[in-house]
Amino acid sequence: MSELPDNLRRQVVAEVYRQAGELDWDGLTDRQRSTHYDQWLDDPGIGQQLTRFLTRERARVWLKDVPMKEYARARSGIGVYADLVTMRLPSPGQIAQQVLGSGWSMVIGSIQEKPNRCLITDGREQRLMMWGPPKTLRDLVWAGINALIDTPHQPLLVVATPQGQRLDEGEKRRHIRLGQVAGLDVRHTVLRMTHISRPNSPA
């Protein structure tokens, strides 16, 4: 929807992300999210700005397909809106350290998407780390199988659960077993949010 001026687009995304952070978006049900989309359409800083250029229906689609489709990646420091979030997930390098230890870090410039992945190193070897929430396990496993064929780097699949959600031990064992069948290293970790103060957002 190129009819939106760039400065307005970023202003609206920043306000959506500020409110989503306050709402604990991950913890909302689909019905609650739908309610908030409707509320955003009536918000002077969001919907009333968008409907200067879009119909109300198209503005609602835009909210779902642009800022909120990018929200999880932006909180991981990935994508064009990464600098607009107020709640930040651990960076890829921090995830690697949570799973493998403090000696690991991300190889700069190696981040790719769909699924999220990057090279990580401990100074001696490099691995291809892929990560995502439990619902993306199938995509992670398929990408990992392809990586075994297409890259020289041993894949590491990280099932990353947001803080406040949990997997039971049976689910974790099943994930690990599925990885073993495919010849893949599957690990689990919890992603804890940190708050980022913005110049025009509450501390």
| Cross-strand bridge partners of residue 116 | 131
How many Cβ atoms sit within 10 Å of the Cβ of residue 181? 9
Can you give the pLDDT at residue 203?
34
Q: Which of the following CATH numbers is that of domain 92-192: 3.40.1350, 4.10.410, 3.90.550, 3.30.70?
A: 3.40.1350
DSSP SS3 for 163: coil
CA distance 144 to 183: 9
pLDDT of 201 reads 44
Tell me, what's the pLDDT at 49?
Answer: 96
Instruction: State how far the alpha carbon of 11 is from the alpha carbons of 44, 59, 149, 150, in Å.
Output: 12, 15, 43, 41
From first to last of its 203 residues, the chain has per-residue pLDDT tens of 457 899 999 999 999 999 998 998 888 899 999 999 999 999 999 999 999 999 999 999 999 999 999 998 898 888 899 999 998 889 899 999 999 999 999 999 999 888 999 999 999 999 999 999 999 999 999 999 999 999 999 999 999 998 777 889 999 999 999 999 999 999 999 998 888 765 454 33
- For the entire predicted model, the pTM comes to 0.76
